[in-house]
Chains A and B, each alone.
Chain A
Amino acid sequence: MNSIRLICYIVIMIGVTNLLRILPVTLIRKQITNRFFISFLYYVPYVTLAVMTVPAIMETTTNQIIGLIALILGITAAWYKMSLFTVSAICCICVFILELI
């Protein structure tokens, strides 16, 4: 990867991300009324994050089972509304300990 290409990709990422943030407060004045579209936009973030988490969390650990245990512990902690930092920390500590065994 040459550095000019890399910088282009970073600029694209910054541009597209902030465009999504700015669009609603500038251009989109009307409420979106299409029910399918509203529902689609509602589900998208959750599906994306779920797909990005599995199987990646199991691929970072030396053994897939370790990643799976971290995932289950993380889900349990999040279910009981522990903070973002706590959930992350639990996953990290779980992997650290299990990797030692």
Chain B
Amino acid sequence: MIKNKILIEGIRDGLPIGAGYFAVAFSLGIIAAKADLSSWQGFISSFFTRASAGEYGVYCSIAAKAGVVEIILITLIANVRYLLMGAALTQKLDPKMPLWKRVVAACCITDEVFGISIAFKDKYLKMSYPLGATLVAGTMWAAGTAFGITAGNILPNNIVTALNVALYGMFIAVIIPPCRNDSNLLYVVIISFIVSYSCSLILPVSSGTRTIILTIIISAIAAYIKPVRKDE
């Protein structure tokens, strides 16, 4: 009974997240269509991945006929933040929580579900909370992708172009707010924008390869020059 109550709380909190996901996933679906994914393939892959940047990177790489190494690297690079979130999540889990429940809770991590899970009212997170949120938000994310794959071909061009930028809007909404409190991060983001644009003009490599190379180089230089403080 108590378990159901927390599951329902998760579903309730997952709904507004899912609404945003649906809209953004639609634009992801337009890109997935370029990688020749059918709508059911898009649904399955989006439901089990639930990673905006990771999926975007992989679909672009598939569309550019990239090899398996690039697919693995781009997935790792684009999703390495889940490693950090997973590490932070362990502090919110009961040390006595069974392994399978830890795995299920961890698999639910996305930027937003992680956010509400860390803010969970009790001392320890119950597995059914992120699971409930994911059942709703993940399904809407997957449905948005599938819908984008199908409708991307039907809708007029100017609407598709407009919806295309929704995903980039989501990326911006993730990276900009923390820059307000961390000027080093702000400089790193601005430099990344400029260097990425410049490299796209002069480096004859795919966008996936460029993402991998620039992420490693810029992050390493930033970590060397401006390491984060110990207490963070």
- B: residues with CB less than 8 A from A are 19-20, 23-24, 35-37, 41, 44-45, 48-51, 53-58, 62, 65, 68, 71-72, 75-87, 89-90, 93, 99, 102-103, 105-107, 109, 112, 158-159, 161-180, 185, 188-189, 192-193, 195-197, 200, 207, 210-211, 214-215, 218-220, 222-224, 226-228, 230, 232
Q: Are A70 and B165 in contact (CB under 8 A)?
A: yes
Complex Cα gap A93–B165 (Å): 10
If the complex has contacts A24-B87, A93-B162, A100-B158, are A49 and B106 also in contact, measured as CB distance less than 8 A?
no
Within 8 A of B (CB), among A3-38: 6-10, 12-14, 16-18, 20-26, 28, 31-32, 35-38
If the complex has contacts A7-B41, A88-B20, are A49 and B171 also in contact, measured as CB distance less than 8 A?
yes
Interface size class, chain A: 35 or more
Chain B residues with CB under 8 Å of A55's CB are 196-197, 200
B185 (CB) vs chain A CBs: closest residue = A46
Within 8 A of B (CB), among A50-94: 50-58, 60-62, 67, 70-71, 74-75, 77-79, 81-85, 87-93
